[in-house]
Structure 1
Amino acid sequence: MITVDNIKEAQKNLESVVEATPMTKAPILSENFNSEIYLKKENLQLTGSFKLRGAFNRIANLSKEKRDRGVVAASAGNHAQGVAFSAQHFGCEATIFMPEATPLTKVSGVKSYGANVVLTGENFDEAYEASMKFCKEHNKEFIHPFADDDVIAGQGTIALEILKEVPDLKQIIVPIGGGGLIAGIAIAAKSINPDIKIIGVVASGARGMKESYKAQMPIDSVSVRTIADGIAVRDVNPKLLNIILEYVDHIVEVSDNEIANAVLFLLEKHKLVVEGAGAAATAAIMHEKVDVEDSKVCSIISGGNIDVTMLSQIIEKGLVKSYRKMNLLITLRDKPGSLTELSEIFRDCGANIVQIDYDRDSIKLEFGEAHITIALETKGEDHQREIKEKLKQNGYRYKQI
């Protein structure tokens, strides 16, 4: 069994390498819920994720003989970077198996630490199977991303830092993929304060651990699909489930839309670049999946290695949902001056045109017509309503897209 003493030993191993990441109050969330809500910013950790803690502790505890044979890991990205960094630190070879769809930023991060990368499979579990086969064939040491005592102990050091700063904390809210993070945090936190509540958060597209927690037996997900690739784990590990059943008080789920909202909120209001998995705990607070009213709560921001393309999509959709951007398909008469007349309406309404496309060849158009696809910067729902009313008054046919 892993104990708080193991976690304190791990903390000693990590002292010279791992950052004691900032833990700061989230003023807007705190005010909204009449609570003290803190963010533990593991997105600011070396390698951009908490995963460095467990990987470094595991490799630090290997014998020189095992290190010399080289290490192998499977990961959606963050564990891979933790293993690669740690292997480079100790001078051993690392081979990392990653799903084919892993964001480029994570693949590049792993390679930058000198590790060999093998892209294979549609998800973590398929990459894991390939890595285990490779490990046996080449007699190398496997560094499991979550089902390993040294890894779990390393992740648990986060709780030691949290409770050192806020000893009277009431709840810690933690994202769950494989379960190593919440297992380590729960063991450490409950050992220090048995009354503290540990709440897990899964993505709706990777619900295996939540279903297993409810049934009290491993139930693997049929399929996994979520923007939170760091917690996109299909299969439930019995070892981790047993720890979670003993130490975790509740598990909730959040949708991809809710995760995206939290990514945008943390970027805009807290100036934090956070990946989907890293935003899951905050999403659970924002969308009232957990009761945080009149409490002291810590949300774990587990990582910040988000693909720039995904971040761009989240920002764009967030702007549309918050009525700060408006996309319209408008039918115009195809004659000189028509576009100028249309743009004058937007000018008079105070809307800024940011993108425009012109189509006069669509078979859906009558002869003498053209389609304009236009993107506008707007100032809220009332502003968009005003623009649509002006278009109607001037006889334009349009569709909001």
Structure 2
Amino acid sequence: MVGATLENMDIDLGIGAVRAARTVLADHLPATPSWAAPALTEAAGCQVVLKHEEVQPTGAFKVRGGLNLLAGMSPEQRRRGVVSASTGNHGQSLAYASRRFGARCQIVLPEPVNPTKARALRGWGAELVVYGQDMETAGAHARELAGRGGARFVHPADEPALIAGVGTLYLELLTAHPDLDYLFVPVGGGSGAASACLVAASVAPGCRVIAVQTTASRAAHDSWRTGELVSRPNRTAVEGLAIGIGYATTQALLRRHLTDFLLVDDEQVRVAQLLLLTHAHTLAEGAGAAALAGLLSMADRLAGTRAAIVVSGGNASPAELGSVLGARPVAAA
């Protein structure tokens, strides 16, 4: 669908689906904490609220989507299993949910594989297939595998059940902090950003949602700017943001509700990871810190406001952690 226009795309997904997902997830996951980080607020120059999704059993917010999707499948569908492609966190969400619901789960990983995430995927019982050099190639192979064996192919972004499940975190956040001025969200495939837009538009219309992607993998950003699904070079080292094309479902929701879309570079993401570690006692992988990088990039416009970011992705590899410790510390605002 690269090249498709987004202006009149009909997406039948509303806040009711998110509220229904919250009921489903209540039997599986407790609400995660969200609170202010005073030292981070001082460094950023505005009040910063952190939503701590790194405490999820898989270390990332995506587990919400996987559980919601598997909960809605029939016993026969679960028996046939699910297949998807992932750099790690989306795959873990499906693996965790498949283990909870007794389903077979096969995940295709592009190279190079993060050993930390591969270990976690195996731990949750997923069957791993390493194929291709990027998510697009891995995704095509996953779709082929699903077709061969009758399993359900799960798209990492164009899946309403995933978006609704992820939306529950923003329902928690915006219910606990209804007076937020800004919500910064990272974008790879865009399921998290799309769900943030969907929930904010319904329960906190005064909160402006700002998306963040890296300059080295900017397909979602450029799709949103142009109003067409585009492909772009995919060179970021930030695994969770390494997507080279725009996706229809998430882009349509972003077009409706997103306030702005920022680009940061990989080094800014590493600096944000270090700041979370030193100023908020919080470990996040790159995709889980990109929102803070975006916030810092426009800090001069945020004085006197309240902004939130979702900290997610506690699955950084040792090599990534080494690069974070070597990053340049940020100066206080």
TM-score, normalised on structure 2?
0.92
Counterpart amino acid of residue 158 in structure 1: L
- Paired with 1:292 and 1:44, the residues of 2 have a C-alpha distance of 28
1:33-52 superposed matches below 5 A: 33-52=44-63
CA change 1:289–1:122 in 2 (3 A) is farther
1:196 to 194, 204, 207: 207
| Larger displacement relative to structure 2 (283-292 or 146-155) | 283-292
Q: 1:290: how far off? A: 7.8
Q: 1:304: how far off? A: 1.6
Task: Answer 1 or 2: higher relative contact order, Cα 8 Å, separation at least 6.
Answer: 2
CA change 1:46–1:171 in 2 (3 A) is same
Q: Does 1:105 align with 2:116?
A: yes
CA change 1:268–1:32 in 2 (3 A) is closer
1:56-205 superposed matches below 5 A: 56-205=67-216
1:295 to 301, 305, 328: 305
Q: Does 1:251 align with 2:261?
A: yes
Gaps of at least 5 residues in structure 1 are 324-401
- Paired with 2:29 and 2:196, the residues of 1 have a C-alpha distance of 16
Counterpart amino acid of residue 233 in structure 1: I
| Larger displacement relative to structure 2 (113-122 or 21-30) | 21-30
User: Are the aligned partners of 1:55 and 1:145 in contact in 2 as well (CA < 8 Å)?
Assistant: no
| Larger displacement relative to structure 2 (185-194 or 48-57) | 185-194
- Paired with 2:320 and 2:272, the residues of 1 have a C-alpha distance of 14
Map of 1:6 onto structure 2: 17
Counterpart amino acid of residue 54 in structure 2: N
> Aligned residues, how many?
319
Map of 2:9 onto structure 1: none
1:203-222 superposed matches below 5 A: 203-221=214-232
Structure of larger gyration radius? 1
User: Are the aligned partners of 1:252 and 1:289 in contact in 2 as well (CA < 8 Å)?
Assistant: no
The share of aligned pairs that are identical, in percent, is 30
- Paired with 1:206 and 1:33, the residues of 2 have a C-alpha distance of 25
User: Are the aligned partners of 2:270 and 2:323 in contact in 1 as well (CA < 8 Å)?
Assistant: no
Higher share in strand: 1
Q: 1:159: how far off? A: 1.1
TM-score, normalised on structure 1?
0.77
Q: 1:322: how far off? A: 5.3
- Residue deviations 1:113-168, cap 9 Å, x none? 11100011111111101100111111111222211111100011111110121111
Q: Does 1:277 align with 2:287?
A: yes
2:270 to 251, 260, 265: 260
Gaps of at least 5 residues in structure 2 are 1-11
Counterpart amino acid of residue 190 in structure 2: G
Q: 1:289: how far off? A: 6.5
User: Are the aligned partners of 2:39 and 2:280 in contact in 1 as well (CA < 8 Å)?
Assistant: no
- Paired with 2:160 and 2:15, the residues of 1 have a C-alpha distance of 12
